[in-house]
Amino acid sequence: MKKNPLLGRDVISMRDFGPAEIRAILDRCRGFENNRKPLLQGKVLANLFFEPSTRTRLSFDSAMKRLGGATIGFSDSISTSISKGESLWDTIRVAEGYCDVMVIRHPAEGSARLAAEATRLPVINGGDGSNQHPTQTLLDLYTLKQRTGRIEGLKVAFVGDLKYGRTVHSLIRSLSHFDARLWLVSPTSLCLPEDFLEDLRDSGTEHHIVDELAAVPDDVDVLYLTRIQKERFVDAIEYERVRNAYQVNPENVARFGAKLTLMHPLPRLNEVHAALDQHPGAAWFDQAHNGVIVRQALLALCLGAA
Amino acid sequence: MKPPNAKMQVSAVRSGTVIDHLGPRTAFKALKILGIAADATVLIGVNLDSSKLGKKDILKIEGRELTEAEMNKVALLSPQATFSVIRDFKVVKKFSPTLPDTVEGLIRCVNPACITQDPRVTGRFLVAAKKPLKLRCYFCERSMRENEIEFL
């Protein structure tokens, strides 16, 4: 049996996983595509969601139940002791007695790492502010592999808000392990933070900073689209201009051909034209559905059941 | 007019530590980092001419021999600082600090959204690069350059 890459580990940040480990995790995910084995019967997952989430919470819930386990948890901090001033550390120490594994989503960056320090149980980061969302990155990589047959040597254009999107940040960092060539398409005000650019330079990853989709070459393999959020703009007119300028529609993706894979972490606003749901490369619902497969794998691996 | 070769006269230390080659205007921060008490005997030189640095600060701390760990803390503030431990007016040890691999407490994370902004959480930083200095918050992963480092 292959070595379990997550035994005794937490899933906090993609920084913690090298290319071999990422490959090993993705390989193990495949076994969960049609899994109905109750591998986690008798186990309890605590979904500790200190801020709202739809897909991440529901898919962890679904993943645990498909593995025969049970879930407990909360979906905002208002109804918990946090609103009474309890520290995150104490909340985690208390929850430790109620479950076998925890998923935490919290608005403070670094909260998942702190949670992992507070407990001996495995902790999975379901998103900590704009820092990391490793399970999203893994499901994105899994979808990329499913769609393109590989994760190595891909030409990927990231489009939209590259400044605040944690999804983009961890996926870019992970792709830099796999000889990706990147096009970073955004308005100047939403461009990839310097810290990440520096990492790309350090890792020798080819990347091009451009401000329009027209600058992306025709033979790109993937367009990874992101939501441009209104609250990031002071000026409403500038927001309208930017969101329209970065909308992807059947006309402006036609030149990329039918082999193109189109991804979006969802929820989407108008950055994706509704007609693109019919594009053979549209993968956003696959991403969402793969979330359950990948999260099943992560739960089972973290608990040593796979 | 200042005569050529004029030097500022400062008393020698009987026993204690002299910190030389501190970056200009860092002496007071260094005292704070080292937790030197307000009633300690300290000579402070600020913005002195230095052939090596252009300008530098100096600290002469009477009655306290700094530990290597303490000296390494100062390296975060001023990596080129040099230390001399003095006993009975004689230098008994010279020390050039090395940056530690991790730093606990001491610094405030530059990220206002970091969990360590909660005063109940002690910050921890990994030294990602030594020259030029780059720290990374162990929790939120945000990098900090030398000019962004804020001591608690």
pLDDT in tens, chain A (306 residues): 678 999 999 999 999 999 999 999 999 999 999 887 999 999 999 999 999 888 999 999 999 999 999 999 998 877 666 667 889 999 999 999 999 999 999 999 999 999 999 999 999 999 999 899 999 999 999 999 999 999 999 999 999 999 988 899 999 999 999 999 999 999 998 999 998 999 999 999 999 999 999 999 999 999 999 988 887 788 888 888 888 888 999 999 999 988 999 999 998 888 899 999 999 999 999 999 999 999 999 999 999 998
Range of the domain at A274: 135-287
Decide if A98 touches B, using CB distance below 8 A. no
* Domain match, A63 and A156 both: no
CATH code 3.40.50.300 for B102-151: no
Chain-centroid distance, C-alpha A44: 23
What pLDDT shows up at residue A249? 94
* CATH (domain of A282): 3.40.50.1370
Tell whether B141 is within 8 A of chain A (Cβ). yes
Q: Is A10 exposed, middle or buried (0-12, 13-18, 19+ CB in 10 A)?
A: buried
B113–A130 CB contact, under 8 Å: yes
Per-residue model confidence (pLDDT) at position B3: 56
Closest CB from B115, B120, B143 relative to A109: B115
What is the rounded CA–CA span in Å between residue A290 and residue A303?
20
pLDDT for res A81: 67
What is the predicted pLDDT for the residue at B143? Answer: 93
Whether residue A263 is found in the same domain as residue A140: yes
User: Do the Cβ atoms of B35 and B66 come closer than 8 Å?
Assistant: no
Contact yes or no for A129 and B142 at CB 8 A: no
Q: Are residues A144 and A280 in the same domain?
A: yes
User: Which residue ranges make up each domain of chain B?
Assistant: 16-95, 102-151
Q: Do B114 and A128 touch (CB under 8 A)?
A: no
| Within-domain flag for A126 | yes
Q: What is the pTM of this model?
A: 0.89
Residue among A13, A114, A133 with most chain B CBs within 10 A, to mutate? A114
Q: How far is B138 from chain A (nearest CA, A)?
A: 8
Is B142 in the A-facing interface, judged by CB distances under 8 Å? yes
Q: Is residue A4 part of a domain?
A: no
Same domain, A106 and A193: no
- Residues of chain B with pLDDT below 70 are 1-10
DSSP string, B2-35: PPTT-----PPPSSEEEEEEEPTT-HHHHHHHHT
Domain B16-95 is found in CATH 3.30.70.140: yes
Report the alpha-carbon distance of residue A44 to residue A58 in Å, rounded: 15
Residue A145, C-beta contacts closer than 8 angstroms, at least 6 positions apart: A26, A151
Q: How many domains does chain A have?
A: 2
B72 close to A (CB below 8 A): no
Q: Are A262 and A225 in contact (CB under 8 A)?
A: yes
